[in-house]
A and B are shown apart, each in its own frame.
Chain A
């Protein structure tokens, strides 16, 4: 009798422990992208296409108005809002990354995506989510006579030391060194203008898309096959635990929509 009580107690304990471990892992994985272990670029002929729409479900949070407390002449021309959840008229969700998690062979980056840029016009990072190929140099644009600092929080994603470079008012362009390791998305901020915040994903292959105002995304020239389709959103999280499976036929088009909601 006693042994049984003891045994069930131990089982209970083990379950609790297991739950804690799971919960821990859950948190760790939740906000990061998933990459293949290796990726080989090749020429893709007759690839397919994945398109879709990302929608938001639930009550749309109000976009908080940002407190523009300095350089008001340039930065405060028009009111600015927190861009962490941007939802359109028909509940389309902007700034969501949709990507292939497990592709190991496919097209190479095109010339344009190898020169990523983030503009700081009006003291706001545009785009809010930027995809940067591994090793590519990011260019920070600054057309106003305003001093910024480009502070990329790599350390939070275990990608080495943070980058924090000053971009004074005379520097129209500042180039940021390439990062050899895939990871992120990591936050980029400007300490001088505390409201400025955006995300950078350092990625090893080009099958990444960020949804536009209409919530649309397109992944083109995908070699035929079955893939895991993942998404990432700054607030709504990821589907890393239950990725969507899609099968792409040669020259075909697959439609896959997503519906995201706020985490509980």
Chain B
């Protein structure tokens, strides 16, 4: 049986490494790896292969023989011609696509939730309510004290939601309202387990009352289409709609003292 040449083995290892990095690691396991990182790894792998074959003279000769044969051996003339045509064509195609490629706009930076400044004073219009860390939903205590009263606040929150919010945030609070497609970034999805349980009610109050224009300068651009609701809704209406969000989705807001 014919032995596979050392060159072929090296070549196959090289290709396999590339496929592994690009598609297995980059595609299946994590997010796609940038091309520059792949290039760096490939350079390392190439050096490793070269070091391996050049450690012993015999091994190096074995490695170099197929190249040598292809270049000069009379019996290998077909292979030579094929390579002489193929390599320049590949190079031609590669440089052409690189040069003619259209420039694409940079994607917007990843959407994360804004962090409010520490010791942030919560306000509604100009009225101070307290610091973000301390303010609680003034109607939350009814949940235990007076379920009927609590229910009426939730129902009021429901009306506020469907009079104002559902066009973007959706009938089902899933961020799929019939206007949602008009906005970048997309409206928040309250059914996402990463939203309500991660924030305090006071944080929601801040985001609702101040909207997109009220976001901190740090970490811009937000490009949020969230209106400044304090111009339309009263303080009570905002707290009620916050109650409704957790009532409908079944998620609880993060409470004070829980680790961040």
Indicate whether A and B are direct neighbours in the complex (CB within 8 Å).
no
